[in-house]
């Protein structure tokens, strides 16, 4: 390191110094879109995802100081507990936003910020937008410039640092305090891709809750004077050394930081399934529409997979008949079969009952994987290829490029509003149409909002 300051100091200075006036329009728009998307997904998960129930019961049973709301369920709990519950909701459906390079910043970042805003009060729309933009920007820069080998869950391992920097900004912490908060939150940086590659678990949404909770605790501890550590990222046993074997690009992480913003490329999901399945889902839906394929006309389906997508077809028999909703969302045979049969995909298509749908399971059983190294992961979503062979001998294929919701085909505000409304229909909150419209309009013009808890009052 010599006399060079550790990267954590530069990130802390960026987070403490950025103001709303510094943000370009695209970064403001991305922050607001992410807020609308994440709120909708949280509310949808409150009514649809059974795996969130133990978390909600845990935090409500524990009780404590009534600081922040649990979305969709009502009631107040300590801010860290609310962040834990709402973070789990945000990733519970695997319907939350992600970067074009994979991984999920918003499902932990936004629940943490909302919990702190609810606790503190008097947080303006400009302040919330700025904090979201900080978190997204740091997450993207870290995600794209570390050597990842499909081992660590980057949403957790780097998400704690971008999240805690954003939270520090919201609370008005100094650069030094935010740097200390990064050191504090490093004690909660973990999680591997096995939680995604493995089967039989419903833990998928839980990591976002843990990140959000950790970020809230870390900034509050830093605010009270707790000290972090020197050389957090670049020290002898720092994050980059231990987690990434020294493979990182410091110059790229810091290049034009505060001047160039990358968050305009945030991807918003059209379908409630793992992001890497979306190219295949898109290809299957387009095939079904173009050729008006009926399920009983299909003899076989081939999905061409690279190194990452191969995880979504192994072990193949378990992937063809998933046992949990989370497994279904990470199964190419199941999601492709569902897309071919229905020609679309909604939240309600993933339920305990849908796992035993005989039509979907019969077609999923006829989905066969073909490995293609040209589709290997290369820091972007590989174009999935789907090939359908019909019983009358036709062979129809489609590459799933230009997926809806990605930078190549970005989701409009109107489409996000539709997704938000669809998610709300699954929520036990039962919001009136007028309330939904008010929430959507408030977020669209959030920079003019003097108190963001107005939004929580509309949607909790």
Q: Which residues are within 8 A (CB) of 43 and not within 5 positions of it... i.e. 6 or more apart?
A: 71, 72, 89, 423, 424, 426, 427, 429, 431, 459
Q: Which residues pair with 295 in a beta bridge?
A: none
- Please state whether beta strands 367-371 and 76-77 pair in parallel, antiparallel, or not at all (unpaired): unpaired
pLDDT at position 205 is: 83
What's the CATH code, domain 275-399?
3.30.1330.120
Q: Where are the domains of the chain?
A: 7-270+421-459, 275-399
Per-residue tens of pLDDT for the chain, all 460 residues: 456 899 999 999 999 999 999 999 999 999 999 999 999 999 999 987 788 889 999 999 999 999 999 999 889 999 999 999 999 999 999 999 999 999 999 999 999 999 999 999 999 999 999 999 999 999 999 999 999 998 999 999 999 999 999 999 999 999 999 999 999 999 999 999 998 888 888 887 899 999 999 999 999 999 999 999 989 999 999 999 999 999 999 999 999 999 999 999 899 999 999 999 999 999 999 999 999 999 999 999 999 999 999 999 999 999 999 999 999 999 999 999 999 999 999 998 998 888 999 999 999 999 999 999 999 988 777 889 999 999 999 999 999 989 999 999 999 999 999 999 999 998 888 899 999 999 999 999 999 999 999 999 998 7
pLDDT at position 374 is: 93
Residue with tokens 């339920």: 351
Distance (Å, whole) CA 282 – CA 304: 14
Distance (Å, whole) CA 425 – CA 269: 17
Per-residue 3-state assignment (H helix, E strand, C coil) for the chain? CCCCCCHHHHHHHHHHHCCHHHCCHHHHHHHHHHHHHHHHHHHHHHHHCHHHHHHHHHHHHHCCCCCEECCCCCCEECHHHHHHHHHHHHHHCCCCCECCCCCCCHHHHHHHHHHHHHHHCCCCHHHHHHHHHHHHHHHHHHHHCECCCCCECHHHHCHHHHHHHHHHHHCCCCHHHHHHHHHHHHHHCCCECHHHHCCCCCCCCHHHHHHHHHHHHHHHHHHCCCCCCCCCCCCCCCHHHHHHCCCECHHHHHCCCCCCCCHHHCECCCCCCCHHHHHHHHHHHHHHHHHCCCHHHEEEEEEEECCCHHHHCCCHHHHHCCCCHHHHHCCHHHHHHHHHHHCCCCHHHCCCCHHHCHHHHHHHCCEEEEECHHHCCCCCCCCCEEEEEECCCCEEEEECCCCCCCCCCCCCHHHHHHHHHHHHHCCCCCCCHHHHHHHHHHHHCHHHCCCCHHHHHHHC
Q: Does residue 350 come out as left (phi exceeding 0), alpha (psi in the -120 to 50 range) or beta?
A: beta
- The phi, psi pair for 370, rounded to 5°, reads -130, 120
Tell me the CATH class for 7-270+421-459. Answer: mainly alpha
- The phi, psi pair for 104, rounded to 5°, reads -120, 105
Kindly state the tokens that stand for 386: 């789907």
């Amino acid at each position: 390191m010599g006399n060079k300051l550790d990267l954590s100091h530069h990130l802390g200075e960026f987070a403490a110094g950025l103001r709303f006036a510094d943000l370009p329009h695209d970064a403001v728009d991305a922050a607001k879109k992410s807020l609308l998307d994440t709120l909708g997904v949280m509310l949808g998960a409150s009514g649809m995802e059974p795996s969130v129930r133990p978390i909600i019961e845990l935090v409500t049973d524990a009780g404590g100081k009534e600081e922040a709301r649990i979305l969709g369920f009502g009631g107040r709990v300590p801010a860290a507990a609310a962040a834990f519950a709402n973070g789990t909701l945000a990733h519970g459906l695997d319907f939350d936003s992600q970067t074009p390079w994979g991984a999920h910043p918003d499902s932990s970042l936004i629940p943490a910020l909302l919990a702190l805003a609810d606790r503190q009060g008097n947080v303006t729309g400009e302040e919330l937008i700025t904090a979201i933009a900080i978190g997204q920007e740091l997450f993207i820069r870290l995600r794209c410039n570390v050597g990842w080998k499909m081992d660590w869950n980057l949403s957790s391992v780097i998400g704690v640092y971008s999240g805690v920097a954003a939270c520090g900004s919201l609370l008005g912490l100094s650069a030094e305090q935010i740097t200390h908060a990064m050191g504090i939150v490093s004690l909660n940086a973990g999680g591997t891709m096995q939680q995604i590659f493995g089967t039989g678990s419903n833990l998928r949404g839980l990591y976002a809750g843990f990140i959000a909770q950790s970020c809230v605790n870390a900034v509050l501890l830093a605010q009270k004077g707790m000290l972090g550590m020197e050389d957090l990222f670049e020290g002898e046993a720092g994050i980059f050394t231990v987690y990434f074997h020294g493979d990182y690009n410091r110059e790229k992480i810091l290049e034009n930081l505060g001047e160039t913003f990358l968050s305009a490329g945030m991807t918003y999901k059209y379908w409630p399934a793992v992001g890497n399945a979306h190219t295949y889902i898109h290809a299957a839906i387009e095939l079904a529409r173009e050729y008006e394929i009926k399920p009983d006309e299909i003899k076989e389906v081939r999905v061409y997979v690279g190194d990452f997508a191969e995880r979504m077809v192994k072990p193949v028999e378990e992937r063809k008949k998933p046992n949990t909703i989370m497994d279904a969302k990470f199964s190419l045979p199941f999601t492709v079969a569902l897309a071919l049969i229905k020609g679309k995909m909604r939240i309600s298509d993933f339920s305990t009952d849908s796992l035993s749908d005989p039509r979907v399971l019969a077609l999923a059983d006829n989905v066969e994987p073909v490995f293609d190294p040209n589709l290997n992961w290369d820091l972007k979503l590989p174009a999935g290829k789907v090939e359908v062979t019909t019983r009358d001998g036709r062979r129809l294929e489609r590459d799933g490029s230009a997926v809806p919701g990605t930078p190549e085909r970005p989701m409009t505000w109107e489409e996000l509003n539709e997704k938000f409304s669809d998610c709300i229909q699954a929520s036990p909150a039962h919001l009136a149409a007028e309330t939904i419209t008010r929430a959507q309009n408030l977020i669209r013009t959030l920079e003019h909002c003097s108190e963001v808890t107005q939004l929580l009052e509309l949607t909790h």
